[in-house]
Structure 1
Amino acid sequence: MQRGASVIKIIKNANIYSPENVGAADVLVAGGKIAAVGKNIEASFEGANIEVIDASGKLMIPGLIDRHVHITGGGGEAGFASRTPEIRFSDISASGITTVVGLLGTDGSARNVEQLYAKACALEHEGISTYILTGSYGCPSITITGCVKKDMMFIDKVVGVKIAVSDHRSPHVTKEELTRLAADARVAGMLSGKRGFVHMHMGDGKAGLDMVSGIIRDGDVPIAQFSPTHVNRSSRLFESALEFAKMGGVIDITSSMDGGGDTIRASEAARLALESGVSPENITMSSDSNGSIPEYDDKGRLKSIGVAGIDSMRTELCDMVKNHSIPVETALKFVTSNPARAIGAGHKKGKIANGYDADIVIVDEDFNVEMVMAKGEKLVESGKCVKKGFFE
């Protein structure tokens, strides 16, 4: 049984988005799972401690799933002093996020997958759900076992592999190398019952997604094996990402890109994708939190560097609904059920439904977080973190 789950909880009268609109209903939480969703739920169990939570006038949504977080930090493009810090547990929970996928960035030398795994286990112990990607920017991929296939097959948290494509910091892989990596990920996923995908950091290189499109067109690797992220980095990349999505691929929009320069703000990118005919099922959104935000001039020289924050996903969720007229149930898919499915956790994450993990967030009409529950345990109550990380 999950820690904190011995108390049975009934959340009453919330307006539930599962992410589909369920309407006003109650939710029964027991053993870290959602045990029932319905009207006027009452429960009586001998010897049980039952907590009733009144959520009248509030929205209940699934815990947000951030599929791109530099949990051990990232960066380093301006030297060792520019290495970004590890993420804190309370920063994750305060943003309404209950599941993260940790990954490495530019630096696959001073940082490694072993550290990534250890940090993911620490965050899981503290109270959220975690997965990781093996690899980093480079090729061949850095791993724990010495083999991408074996990392995916034998390390519980590894659900895919990361690589950088079409970026001046990328390893400039060939079509054959990327095809082989995708094929290895596919076979490893099949053998281990995982998604087994290639998560591609997309830069603003001239080739964009051309190589991936060629692999799909000329070969036998299914489009579902490729997961391009940062697709709103530039208008040129975004246009090719829309075509990729219309072919059936899933694109990942980065919520920390605010529309400066040639980037497209995440909420606007989501609206443009929907208006262009992309299926709502083929869009996810992630924060790139604790990764660096470097800016280069036209000669490739570093001009400035910052750090991405994790709350941007919740901010962009609100902006999609409030300022771009995207229905709540559609916008929520991008940060709940779609990423759950993309990482192979769609059977237990991303929905308010019987048998799913009790990852529940209560928000007001402006998506301000009031309560966060992860696997039945309260992490945030009345807008304040009631559980902190080990050293917080």
Structure 2
Amino acid sequence: MLKIIKDIEVYSPEYSGKKDVLLINDKIGKISDNIDLPSVSFYDIEVISGEDKILTPGFIDGHVHITGGGGEGGFTTRTPEAMLTDITSFGITTVVGCLGTDGTTRHMAALLAKARALEEEGITTYIYTGSYEIPTRNITDNSRNDIILIDKIIGIGEIAISDHRSAQPTTQDILRLAAEARVGGMLSGKAGVLHLHVGDGKRKLSQLFEITNIGEIPPEQMVPTHINRTRELLYDSIKYAKSGGYVDITSSIKPVLDGSIVKPSTALKMMLINGVPQEKITMSSDGNGSSPEFDSKGNLLRLGVGSLRDNHSEFCDAVFKENIPVDTALMPLTSNPADVLKLSNKKGRIQPGLDADIILMNKEDLSIDTVIAKGKVMVKEGKPVVFGTFEKLI
């Protein structure tokens, strides 16, 4: 299976100029100024025109509730599972699945099975072990063993801190999990990150600063997410990232009337203006997770659902509204999560030998035209052409 994308502007995510890109089965085979088509070939070669388009790596979404989430308002508020086209339609070719508030009716075996199903349908999947709570919910007897023994588990998460829905972990609890994640990653050659849900509590990232001040666990091991939830949390996250840690913006957290939430693309701009190294910022969707809003006493007021479309829409806003260069706006969705999750030998860049995970966007408005996952066209002319097993039966 050969595909040649001709005369297209390539962002790797760095701008590489106009190139031809050859895909061989599920890998990027060659990138060159010109790749000649043979006059006679024993292979079927699909030629894709790159006219008026740009080519980027497929998005890596590091936080998706692929089995659904929520439940803060009772059983009827449990959010639905993610379907294949919910993911691919918005340029996402790799997802990391996680559990959230509910580690009881949503459990690790189901999360692992869903990840395997999505991979069979055409994308790349990984998962975190655990949920909001401590002790963690695992498949084996502990989190470290999950990371070492189960191929798809690359870290622990999402453990909740600074949130009334958390298990109120102590700093020592978080330190112990960070150590489990670190050693599990070392022994398995994986990232072994501790992925942390951060609520709107007053503690913000104080516990992470306590741990990093001890000096034994590097800040890169602990990745806080939802950092644009409040302006105060964002400023704490700027400090954390400048000290060496990675931080994750949530694209589906959008401003409300009281002005406490920072729009994701605006948060990215603020971080860059305040001197955060651009390689320290990632962005994920919290797709299919619940987006609850509580009053001052913790009572549920309303509930929304995170959408995987927000990664792409906030990328566009970063470029067109915040005037962030395309290559810089791409990094939190491509090369940066690949580096955080130790996937750089497979994902996140346009380089020969890496997986053929590619987006073709229309140059004028950055709308998605084509999505290719592991060499297979999943979306064409803006519409999905590959569907999940049950999508056409519903």
> After TM superposition, is the score higher than 0.5?
yes
2:346 matches 1:326: no
The one-letter amino acid paired with 2:49 is D
The one-letter amino acid paired with 2:255 is G
- Structure 2 counterpart of 1:3: none
- Structure 2 counterpart of 1:95: 90
Question: Greater CA deviation, 297-306 or 134-143?
Answer: 297-306
- Structure 1 counterpart of 2:74: 79
Q: Any conservation in 2 of the 1:13–1:57 contact (CA below 8 Å)? A: no
2:190 matches 1:191: no
Mapping of residues 240-389 of structure 1, within 5 Å: 240-260=236-256, 261=258, 262-365=260-363, 366-389=365-388
- Structure 1 counterpart of 2:144: 149
**Moved runs in structure 1, 4+ residues, more than 3 A?**
43-46
Measure, in 1, the Cα distance between the counterparts of 2:296 and 2:185. 40
Partner residue of 2:103 out of 101, 104, 108: 108
- Structure 1 counterpart of 2:2: 8
Q: Any conservation in 2 of the 1:136–1:142 contact (CA below 8 Å)? A: yes
CA deviation profile, 1:239-279 (whole Å, cap 9, x unmatched): 11000000010100000111224110000000000000000
Q: Any conservation in 2 of the 1:107–1:136 contact (CA below 8 Å)? A: yes
Measure, in 2, the Cα distance between the counterparts of 1:276 and 1:15. 30
CA deviation profile, 1:280-308 (whole Å, cap 9, x unmatched): 00000000010001001111111000111
Measure, in 1, the Cα distance between the counterparts of 2:358 and 2:303. 35
- Structure 2 counterpart of 1:227: 223
Measure, in 2, the Cα distance between the counterparts of 1:253 and 1:84. 21
- Aligned-pair distance for 1:177? 1.1
- Structure 1 counterpart of 2:154: 159
The one-letter amino acid paired with 1:16 is V
Measure, in 2, the Cα distance between the counterparts of 1:380 and 1:82. 31
2:191 matches 1:203: no
TM-score between both structures, scaled by the size of structure 2: 0.97
The one-letter amino acid paired with 1:263 is I
CA deviation profile, 1:23-55 (whole Å, cap 9, x unmatched): 110100002100000111124484211111111
Measure, in 1, the Cα distance between the counterparts of 2:47 and 2:41. 16
Look up the SS of the partner of 2:349 in the other structure.
coil
Measure, in 2, the Cα distance between the counterparts of 1:208 and 1:286. 19
Measure, in 2, the Cα distance between the counterparts of 1:147 and 1:264. 36
CA deviation profile, 1:95-125 (whole Å, cap 9, x unmatched): 0110000000100011101100000000000
Look up the SS of the partner of 2:333 in the other structure.
coil
TM-score between both structures, scaled by the size of structure 1: 0.97
The one-letter amino acid paired with 2:376 is E
- Structure 2 counterpart of 1:40: 34
- Aligned-pair distance for 1:219? 3.9
Q: What stretches of structure 2 of length at least 5 have no aligned partner? A: none
Partner residue of 2:15 out of 21, 25, 36: 21
The one-letter amino acid paired with 1:193 is G
The one-letter amino acid paired with 1:25 is K
- Structure 2 counterpart of 1:4: none
The one-letter amino acid paired with 1:116 is L
Measure, in 1, the Cα distance between the counterparts of 2:303 and 2:150. 34
- Structure 2 counterpart of 1:139: 134
2:49 matches 1:51: no
The one-letter amino acid paired with 2:219 is I
Measure, in 2, the Cα distance between the counterparts of 1:84 and 1:26. 42
Measure, in 2, the Cα distance between the counterparts of 1:285 and 1:68. 9
The one-letter amino acid paired with 1:329 is D
Look up the SS of the partner of 1:150 in the other structure.
helix
Identity of aligned residues (%): 49
